[in-house]
Structure 1
Amino acid sequence: MGGIWERSWNEFVVFLSLPPAIRQLVYTTNVIESLNARYRRAAQAYEHFWNETAALKRLYLATLALDSTGRGRQRCSNRWKAALKEFDVLFGGRLTANQV
């Protein structure tokens, strides 16, 4: 009965064999969990909302606070560009095969 590393080693080695751009994209998907936690905190700060619009406004403001400079979308798309190129190489051009 080994530890978690020994039980998961085969899956972890596969992760390490991926190109760096794909590895970075995979381990940054924790952003989704972080966003959900941020939404929960924003909603719990107010025990009662007057209506659905008030709740949506609160979540909207919490979302804006995540990227106050407005550069988050650019950083995200830059990471995806590199990862998509790597995926295309890994899968023999299947991602760009039908593009003109």
Structure 2
Amino acid sequence: MTDKWGGKYAIAVKSWENNWAELSNYPPDIRRLIYTTNSVEGYHRQLRKVIKTKGAFPSAESVRKLFYLVNCDITSDWTMPIPNWACILNQLSICFKQRVTI
């Protein structure tokens, strides 16, 4: 991994290598949840699309309001449940007893 991505993403690769022992101890369902970034990238793409079509904003508050409205619109379309959520929630409650309560 270092050979392929180390030059371009040095900090991310170093973080990955430093924390690999801890990350690899999670069950496969939790690891899949941690590694999945497609939904985050899609969300950011939709935010960028709205900002890109606007020429300028009169204030930071106007950008904040627009992000709020876009967020409401984006999240209203989220209908798909997370696959194996019951299993993942049980595993999280075991791994993080002090943080997750069922």
TM-score, L = length of structure 2: 0.51
Q: State the 1:44 CA deviation.
A: 0.8
Following superposition, the deviation at residue 43 of structure 1 comes to 2.0
- Displaced runs of 4+ in structure 1, greater than 6 A? none
Aligned length: 88
Tell me the distance in 1 between the aligned counterparts of 2:95 and 2:68: 42
Q: Which structure carries more relative contact order (alpha carbon 8 Å, separation 6+)?
A: 1
Unpaired runs of at least 5, structure 2: none
* CA RMSD, 1 decimal: 4.1
The gaps in structure 1 that reach 5 residues or longer are none
TM-score, normalised with respect to structure 1: 0.51
Cα distance in 2 between the residues matched to 1:29 and 1:86: 20
| Contact persistence 1:42–1:62 (CA under 8 A) | no
Q: 1:13 to 1:30 in 2, by over 3 A?
A: farther
Query: Is 2:30–2:91's contact at 8 Å kept on the other side of the alignment?
Result: yes
**CA 1:79/1:32 → structure 2, altered by over 3 Å: closer, same or farther?**
farther
Percentage of identical aligned residues: 21
2:70 to 41, 46, 59: 59
- Between structure 1 and structure 2, the one with the greater Rg is 1
Contact kept, 8 Å, 2:47 with 2:67, in 1: the verdict is no
Matches within 5 A, 1:16-35: 16-29=24-37, 31-35=39-43
